Amino acid sequence: MKAEYIGLEKINGPLVFIKTPKDISFNEQVELVLKNGEVRIGNVILLDKDITAIQVYEGSNGINLNGTKTVLKGKSLEIKLSEDMLGRVFNGIGEPIDGLGEVNSDIKRDINGSAINPVARKYPRNYIETGISSIDGLFSLIRGQKLPIFSGSGLPHNELAEKIIRDSNITGEGKFAVVFGMMGVEYETASFFRKSFEESGALSKVVIFQNLSNDPSIERILTPRVALTCAEYLAFDLDYQVLVVLTDMTAYAESLREISSLKGEIPSRKGYPGYLYSDLASIYERAGMILGKEGSITQIPILTMPNDDISNPIPDTTGYITEGQIVLSRELFQKGIEPAINILDSLSRLMKDGIGKDYTREDHKKISDQLFSSYSKVQDVRALAKVLGENDLSDMDRLYLKFGDEFEKRFINQNKDERRNISETLDLGLEILEILPKSEWDKFN
Amino acid sequence: MGYKYITKVNGPVIVASGDADFSMHDIVLVGNLKLLGEVINLNGQDAIIQVYEDTSGLKIGEEVEGTDAPLSLTLAPGIIGNVFDGIQRPLHVLRNIEGDFISRGLNIDSIDTEKKWKYTPIAKVGEKITKGSFIGEVKETQSITNKIMYSKDKEVELIEVANEGEYTVNDIIAKVKDKQGNIENITMVQKWPVRMQRGYKKRIVSSEPLITGQRIIDSVFPIAKGGTAAIPGGFGTGKTVLQHQLAKWSDADIIVYIGCGERGNEMTEVLEDFPKLLDPRTNRPLMERTVLIANTSNMPVAAREASIYTGITIAEYYRDMGYNVAVMADSTSRWAEALREISARLEEMPAEEGFPSYLPSRLSEFYGRAGMVENYNDTTGSITIIGAVSPQGGDFSEPVTQNTKRFIHVFWALDRELAYQRHYPAVNWMISYSEYAQRLEDWYIDNVSVDFYEYRKRIIELLGEENSLLEISKVVGKDVLQDNKKLVLRACQSIRSGFLMQNSMDDVDTYVPLEKQYRMMQTIIMLYDASSKLIDKGIPLSEINELGYFDEYSKLKFNIKNDEIYKFNEIDEKYKNGLKRLEDEYRYHIID
């Protein structure tokens, strides 16, 4: 028998307050039944002996104080899981919206998940070839890694994510699936991805959870959790190699801020709640590999940096949790370089153990370090050239300028449909390094 | 004892009301699941409690049971080599019981109570025993002998001693009698409140360095045993790699590595690497001297707050036996954020950037637990604390970095520009400092060489000069500099790539003994001085560069193995002779 209570005390944005019923528990799922019979899902985020705050995921539009019924579900929010979810489309809280009916399954999991015991983790070492030179050569993606894309509004992060999904040989020997979580994404973006999956024939391997920009913002709090619960099931119960793409994490964090301020919490940086780090970690850390299990979760969250500022709290906290980052550059984008990846700011922490003799090629690290280091010198020379003019530069400095230009035009820049394997990428890197005399190859010592 | 009842739940913080008399920092069992919590505030009938586990499912009116005891650690053989969460629950055991994911409400022993240890008595019947006295010992690992100590602050007499043999930690291994005739059973276990500092007889000013095998540290910014250091750096600058390097190669007897709110995979990396790596001094696996505290970013925030204290208390326990312990805390910023998160839930008035006003005093208490001491049992032990700081936005002016700076004496500042150049460890030599450098000079003179500090000084001076030259050349280009200035740049380029940069992935370069560090400094300074003389005589720098010595120097760190230090003599000879020949040729040409 489910307990039901009639009437609300107060409504404040997506938060509704009720007199604390007897059996309600913290973080419990509730259903609000509106006068017209419509049902909204919410959960308990603050429990006091007199009053209880519930966040309503589909927003509080049309909810009134007197006629609304609160139904306690006696458990936290769960979703049904099944292999049949592959190829399906769900909304941001995990309800099917593709007209194909409910998911049939007895397996239900709490969407909040639990932390993987650190001693149960397997250290990720398997290199994934994406076919993109800058990523493969300079910040390799490793299976089980969480590697976000930091972008700015108007930059081609979606195209990059799409290319990674399309061209990566993430599969290895196992089964492959993509779990796609969209938070506050434009309709055009959603259909861009859908179309790309259709064209590449991958649609049957993709599970989509979509919260569009015109859907209730609070729903976004659930979307990554629902998506990751599905991914964990596919990876650790069914042995899939799962690639999870979450976009846009900035929209997610903004919803979190919205709720926090409605709750009257004390803000820390830029109005974000003090628990932003812990909250984002509870999403990003749901990636990785587990000892004795075949499957893996590789996570590529995408976020747009407000005002292209990497020190904004969202990219900043993200970078401290994830295992590196791929940063897009407006400057390169304007130069027409694609993918417009900001080489110096990008990084893959797991690369060091996943490249080299047994994984890619023995000289990979040297080439990568040399390209980085030489390209960082290019920036100094360019700054100097602005002051002195190119004519007054030394011969060596001019070689660096040439190297920088070629590196951008030939190595970073890559045709949309061009896929370079790791050997091609490394050979190309060496070829461009040849512009510089060997005495400048300090990483080849 | 007694019960209060839940009246409010707000994330990890709950309020319980009722008649029961709880004390501050007492452990309580919360709700039907008996989740572990700690009393952090008392107000009339209300107790505010931080809960060390996820609070989902708690209901108003569920009972909160008092235990009348503060959060305490179990200190006994079996700690070394183990992996604990922030409140000393053994993660391997948790995994065996509940699987790959961490669940809740499981109260288990921190250490193995079944395992039998080979115990050897030290003290004899009739001996007077006081706080800290050694009663017996157990070989905890091949590298570490655990001394069983008397833990109470009184004088007692040993009246019964167990024979040498196999015992569990809970077996009685001795009996003592106090002056009133009360008899007390002694086991290998001590319970110690995690927030309480363990005492010592007196502090000692340490003049011995913690040798790390890392050149930028040992030779340039050394740290004393018992000292405090901070490693601040934005993400991607290599804090964790440097912490791992220090945990691997420091000449401490025991390493306590606290993974506080960091990545799960980083702990996994340590767990995979350390058992395979050998301690250069003992030739035993590093895991045999390491304790890991792993409370990753997605584990409960209250336990993250506690993890720092758990780590430092374990360190003090081994210090009391006379060991040199090094504590690596990665990252203290995550700990500060845990304080902030809980403070916000308590609706306390925030100070800077939302951090509570007691942030500086907590940081000071933590770093204050470092030091070299004379123990009650007259042994000498030390705790060195090395804390990573993750400044928000990579900006060192934020509150955690700034407040930390007040309480530490070594500052190894990591720099994004250096990381861009793949210069690791990316310690920026212009803003880093060591306040111990002066105090440690005598040690280096006695143990390495009388002129070690001479060369150190020269290297630092050259790098300082390089810095100002680079500033100038940013505006006017390098070409207009005179040859003697260009030589400084050339030499410093070799110092950077050949000395300051150190490759943690390379078998030879990952750990470098002091003797080799010294010879490396000596060679580059000799090469610089000799070249400088030639330039004064009008020989162009390009001719000197042609010899290739500055290039070759950068490779010496790999080419001369750590046990082939004598080869530096051959190198020095070669450089001297080569430069001499150049000088002669040049003189000949001029005459010609």
pLDDT band at residue B194, thresholds of 50, 70 and 90? very high
Q: Match 């080849």 to its residue by tokens.
A: A444
Q: Which residues on chain A are in Cβ contact (under 8 Å) with B343?
A: 274
Tokens representing residue B66 in the block: 């008092």
Burial of B348 (0-12, 13-18, 19+ CB in 10 A): middle
Rounded distance, CA A379 to CA A373, Å? 10
pLDDT band at residue B202, thresholds of 50, 70 and 90? very high
Residues B159 and B258 in one domain: no
pLDDT of res. B586: 82
Q: At what angle do helices A249-262 and A276-284 cross, to 10 degrees?
A: 140
Does B427 score more than 70 pLDDT? Answer: yes
Burial of B126 (0-12, 13-18, 19+ CB in 10 A): exposed
Residues B402 and B491 in one domain: no
Residues B57 and B173 in one domain: no
Contact A153, B303 (CB under 8 A): no
The answer to whether residue B40 is domain-embedded is yes
Residues B245 and B370 in one domain: yes
CATH-assigned architecture of domain A4-76: Beta Barrel (2.40)
The minimal CB distance from B91 to the residues A118, A265, A369 is found for A118
For residue A14, the number of C-alpha atoms closer than 13 Å in the C-beta half-sphere is: 25
What 8-state DSSP symbol labels residue B228? E
Q: Which residues on chain A are in Cβ contact (under 8 Å) with B56?
A: 25-28, 76, 112
Over range A214-227, report the average pLDDT. Answer: 92
Q: What is the mean pLDDT of chain B?
A: 93
Evaluated on CA atoms B149, B152, B158, B164, the torsion sign reads negative
Q: Is B471 on the interface with A (CB under 8 A)?
A: no
E strand or H helix that includes residue A254: helix A249-262
Contact B249, B510 (CB under 8 A): yes
The answer to whether residue B461 is domain-embedded is yes
Q: Which residues on chain B are in Cβ contact (under 8 Å) with A352?
A: 505
pLDDT of res. A172: 57
Q: Which of B45, B60, B415 to mutate to test the interface with A (most CBs of A within 10 A)?
A: B60
Residues B146 and B260 in one domain: no
- What number of other Cβ atoms are within 10 A of residue B195's Cβ? 17
Interface of B with A in 78-97 (CB under 8 A): 83, 91-92, 94-95
The answer to whether residue B469 is domain-embedded is yes
| Secondary structure class of B212 (helix, strand, coil) | coil
Closest chain B residue to A394, measured at CA: B479
The answer to whether residue B126 is domain-embedded is yes
The answer to whether residue B101 is domain-embedded is no
Rounded distance, CA B154 to CA B130, Å? 6
The number of distinct structural domains making up chain B is 4
Tell me whether the omega of the peptide bond preceding residue A248 falls within 30 degrees of 0, making it cis.
Answer: yes
Q: Is B507 on the interface with A (CB under 8 A)?
A: no
Over range B311-320, report the average pLDDT. Answer: 97
For residue B382, give the nearest of B488, B252, B285, B262 by alpha carbon: B252
Residues B275 and B385 in one domain: yes
Q: What is the pTM of this model?
A: 0.93
E strand or H helix that includes residue B121: strand B117-121
pLDDT of res. B590: 60
pLDDT band at residue B567, thresholds of 50, 70 and 90? very high
| Distance of residue B253 Cα from the nearest chain A Cα, in angstroms | 24
Contact B331, B319 (CB under 8 A): no
pLDDT band at residue A218, thresholds of 50, 70 and 90? confident
Over range A172-196, report the average pLDDT. Answer: 89
Rounded distance, CA A76 to CA A213, Å? 26
Greater pLDDT, B150 or A439 = B150
Residues B395 and B510 in one domain: no
For chain A, the first-to-last Cα distance in angstroms comes to 74
Does B234 score more than 60 pLDDT? Answer: yes
CB pair distance less than 8 Å for A352 and B8: no
> A170-179, B93-102, B184-193, B267-276: which has the minimum mean pLDDT?
A170-179
Over range B167-191, report the average pLDDT. Answer: 95
Tokens representing residue A347 in the block: 């990084």
DSSP H helical segments within A201-248, as ranges?
A: 223-232
Task: Give me the phi and psi of A311, to 5 degrees please.
Answer: -90, 5
Task: Give me the phi and psi of B220, to 5 degrees please.
Answer: -110, -50
Bridge-based pairing of strands A149-151 and A324-328 is parallel
Contact A310, A257 (CB under 8 A): no
| Distance of residue A122 Cα from the nearest chain B Cα, in angstroms | 7
**For the residues of A107-119, what is the DSSP string, one character each?**
-EEETT--PBPGG
The ranges of chain A annotated as CATH 2.40.30.20 are: 4-76
pLDDT of res. B27: 92
Q: Which residues on chain A are in Cβ contact (under 8 Å) with B7?
A: 48-49
pLDDT digits (tens, 9 = 90+) for B462-515: 999 999 999 998 888 888 899 999 999 999 999 999 999 999 988 899 999 999
Owning domain of residue B133: 116-187
Contact A27, A44 (CB under 8 A): yes
Evaluated on CA atoms B299, B304, B307, B308, the torsion sign reads positive
Does A191 score more than 90 pLDDT? Answer: yes
% chain B with pLDDT above 90: 83
Rounded distance, CA B14 to CA B8, Å? 5
Over range B278-295, report the average pLDDT. Answer: 91
pLDDT of res. A378: 94
The minimal CB distance from A49 to the residues B8, B54, B551 is found for B8
Q: Which of A394, A442, A443, A444 to mutate to test the interface with B (most CBs of B within 10 A)?
A: A442
pLDDT digits (tens, 9 = 90+) for A37-84: 899 989 999 999 999 999 998 888 889 998 899 999 888 889 999 999
The minimal CB distance from A117 to the residues B8, B101, B478 is found for B101
**For the residues of B19-55, what is the DSSP string, one character each?**
S----TTEEEEETTTTEEEEEEEEETTEEEEEESS--
Pairs across A and B, CB distance < 8 A: 212
Over range A199-213, report the average pLDDT. Answer: 90
pLDDT of res. B373: 97
Rounded distance, CA B245 to CA B218, Å? 13
Rounded distance, CA B273 to CA A358, Å? 17
Interface of B with A in 417-436 (CB under 8 A): 417, 420-423
The answer to whether residue B97 is domain-embedded is no
E strand or H helix that includes residue B376: none
Domain CATH number, residue B138:
2.40.50.100
CB pair distance less than 8 Å for A117 and B100: yes
Length of chain A: 445
Domain CATH number, residue B47:
2.40.30.20
Q: Which residues on chain A are in Cβ contact (under 8 Å) with B55?
A: 26-27
Residues B242 and B183 in one domain: no
Q: Is B105 on the interface with A (CB under 8 A)?
A: no
Over range B568-575, report the average pLDDT. Answer: 96
Residues B172 and B214 in one domain: no
Q: Which residues on chain B are in Cβ contact (under 8 Å) with A373?
A: 421-423
Contact B322, B252 (CB under 8 A): no
E strand or H helix that includes residue A142: strand A141-142
Residue partners of A201: CB distance under 8 A and separation at least 6: none
> A165-179, A236-250, B73-87, B481-495: which has the minimum mean pLDDT?
A165-179
pLDDT band at residue B103, thresholds of 50, 70 and 90? confident
Evaluated on CA atoms A67, A72, A73, A78, the torsion sign reads positive
Q: Is B102 on the interface with A (CB under 8 A)?
A: yes
For residue B237, give the nearest of B410, B428, B409 by alpha carbon: B428
pLDDT band at residue B570, thresholds of 50, 70 and 90? very high
Residues B209 and B340 in one domain: yes
Over range A157-169, report the average pLDDT. Answer: 87
pLDDT of res. A57: 87
| Distance of residue B478 Cα from the nearest chain A Cα, in angstroms | 8
pLDDT of res. A445: 65
The answer to whether residue B131 is domain-embedded is yes
Contact B5, B63 (CB under 8 A): yes
Domain CATH number, residue B515:
1.10.1140.10
Q: How far are the Cα atoms of A292, A439, B539 from residue B552, in angstroms, in the given order? A: 47, 11, 20
Evaluated on CA atoms A132, A137, A141, A143, the torsion sign reads positive
Residues B240 and B346 in one domain: yes
Q: How far are the Cα atoms of A25, A53, A79, B6, B229 from residue B61, in angstroms, in the given order? A: 10, 17, 29, 5, 47
pLDDT of res. B471: 92
**For the residues of A309-364, what is the DSSP string, one character each?**
-TTSHHHHHHHHHSSEEEEE-HHHHHHT-SS-EEEEEEEETTHHHH-STTTS-TTH
Question: CA angle, A99 as apex, A98 and A105 as ends, to 5°?
Answer: 90
CB pair distance less than 8 Å for B58 and A236: no
The answer to whether residue B51 is domain-embedded is yes
Question: CA angle, A94 as apex, A88 and A99 as ends, to 5°?
Answer: 45
Q: Which residues on chain A are in Cβ contact (under 8 Å) with B338?
A: 278
Does B592 score more than 80 pLDDT? Answer: no
pLDDT band at residue A118, thresholds of 50, 70 and 90? very high
Domain A79-354 CATH assignment equals 3.90.198.10: no
The ranges of chain A annotated as CATH 3.40.50.12240 are: 79-354
pLDDT of res. B152: 92
Does A171 score more than 60 pLDDT? Answer: no
| Secondary structure class of A1 (helix, strand, coil) | coil
CB pair distance less than 8 Å for A27 and B55: yes
Tokens representing residue A91 in the block: 């909304």
* Dihedral (Cα; B400, B405, B407, B409), 10-degree rounding: 140
- What number of other Cβ atoms are within 10 A of residue B482's Cβ? 9
Length of chain B: 592
Residue partners of A95: CB distance under 8 A and separation at least 6: none
